[in-house]
Chains A and B, each alone.
Chain A
């Protein structure tokens, strides 16, 4: 028998398994790797990105999420009527009881987005994974979407811009809004606002896949009551609020 000294396939696989087992130290979290997708793989409708905001944890006077958004996306941070604001901190007060809530308001990434419905050119669009975006290449700046959005989430760029973030192209004459930091999400990172909120220790924002029952956000939404802002409109928003 000439094959006796040759490593046979079964032995090879066994050795391989042992080596692989030894190489993987216990405790390493493979969550990130499992979630990641290859660059040539597109956004999938098996995923729906969403955000859960706990208004009881959102601190009064804190603007960490707003600052992080401005920095990540190259916004000026000004809040005039002609300045872009992708996320705003709101303070709402119940007139009868006087109870106050703080919450960040951003594009709600609706499943049935009115901005997409009204767009005459198809620039306003929803990606397969539920992220609502503006294709600036074909946006003509008509601003119908801004009128259609019940959340005032969109802004129009009035002045020429320079020194944009290479990951976030922006320019004059186009409408824009929160993208859930799509450039980060595609790299398997959290949106900048969520990261900043967590870094500040508030943990008021939770981002994840609504379609995956094992994700933290799906579990939280199953455990606690959450609401859509203007849920009566039936838009099925991707951003939900807790405690209002």
Chain B
């Protein structure tokens, strides 16, 4: 009996501890400021935003092998295409300032970006002006919970 009481107490203690530990964690998640990805041209990416968000490294890696090794120069998943659409109107680049498209998200996720050591982070042509960039729910990562295009 004494043994049962001991286990009961331990379980209750653990339960309380877990509950209290979870509260600040949930608050932190709710309060976290997600990166804003406002820099873009047009209102549709080459794939659904969910797919792009999770798989863009794989898509880019596959495409780089196709292009460099096999000479296939389709533009759908080309890094140059990303840059042309997502270069910031302010800096003209996807990675030269804190608010630029690639940097905001990669800083948030804590993933180092090596692409721009070699690749140009600015398009050849000038990016679109800020007036064309309207707030569209499809590309807004906050609250919508994924792609709905």
Evaluate contact between B74 and A39: CB separation under 8 angstroms.
yes
Given the complex of chains A and B, what is the CA–CA distance between A128 and B74 in angstroms?
A: 18
Taking a contact as CB atoms closer than 8 A, the residue among A135, A136, A161, A172 that contacts B69 in the complex is A135
Q: Which residues of A contact B72 (CB under 8 A)?
A: 39-42
Taking a contact as CB atoms closer than 8 A, the residue among A41, A128, A166 that contacts B83 in the complex is: A166
Whether the Cβ atoms of B71 and A160 lie closer than 8 Å is: no
A76 sits at the interface (CB 8 A): no
Mark interface residues in B70-113 (1 if CB within 8 Å of A CB, else 0): 11111100001001000000000000000000000000000000
A161 to B69, CA, bound (A): 24
Q: A residues within 8 A CB of B73?
A: 39, 186
Measured CB to CB, the closest approach of chain B to A48, in angstroms, equals: 13
Chain B residues lying within 8 Å of A42, measured Cβ to Cβ, are 66, 70-72
For A165, give its contact among B64, B117, B120 (CB under 8 Å).
B120
Nearest-CB distance from A233 to chain B (Å)? 26
Contacts of A165 in B (CB 8 A): 120
Q: Chain B's nearest CB lies how many Å from the CB of A178?
A: 16
Instruction: Write the nearest CB–CB distance from A75 to chain B, whole angstroms.
Output: 14
With beta carbons under 8 angstroms apart, the residue of A135, A164, A172 that contacts B68 is A135
Whether B69 lies near A40 (C-beta < 8 A) is: no
Could you tell me if A169 and B118 are in contact, using CB atoms closer than 8 angstroms?
yes
Number of A-B residue pairs with CB-CB distance less than 8 Å in the complex they form: 53
Q: B123: which A residues are within 8 A, CB to CB? A: 166
In the assembled complex, the Cα of A45 lies from the Cα of B57 at a distance in Å of 30
| Cβ of A111 under 8 Å from chain B | no
CB < 8 Å: which of A164, A172, A174 contacts B119? A164
Q: Is A170 an interface residue (CB 8 A)?
A: yes
Contact-size category for B: 10 to 19
Q: Quick check: is B9 within 8 A (CB to CB) of the other chain? A: no
Q: Helix, strand, loop or mixed for chain A's interface? A: loop
The answer to whether B70 touches A43 (Cβ under 8 A) is yes
The answer, among B75, B117, B120, for a CB contact under 8 Å with A163, is: B120
> Is the pair B71, A43 in contact by a Cβ cutoff of 8 Å?
yes
A182 CA to B118 CA in the complex, in Å?
A: 17
Chain B CB within 8 A of A133 CB: yes
Check if A127 is an interface residue, CB within 8 A of chain B.
yes
Beta-carbon contact of B71 and A174 below 8 Å: no
Q: Which B residues lie within 8 Å of A163 (CB)?
A: 120, 122
* B58-72 interface bits toward A, Cβ cutoff 8 Å, 1 = contact, 0 = none: 000000101011111
Q: Please tell me which one of the listed residues B71, B118, B120, B124 contacts residue A136 in the complex, with CB atoms under 8 A apart.
A: B118
Q: Which residues of A contact B (CB under 8 A)?
A: 39-43, 125, 127-129, 133, 135-137, 160-161, 163-167, 169-172, 174, 182, 186
Taking A127-B69, A166-B120 as known contacts, 14 extra A-B pairs with beta carbons closer than 8 A to each other, sorted by chain A number, are: A42-B66, A42-B72, A127-B70, A127-B71, A128-B70, A137-B68, A160-B117, A161-B118, A163-B122, A164-B118, A164-B120, A166-B123, A174-B118, A186-B73
9 residue pairs of the A-B complex, CB under 8 angstroms, read A128-B70, A128-B71, A163-B122, A164-B119, A166-B80, A166-B123, A166-B124, A172-B117, A186-B71
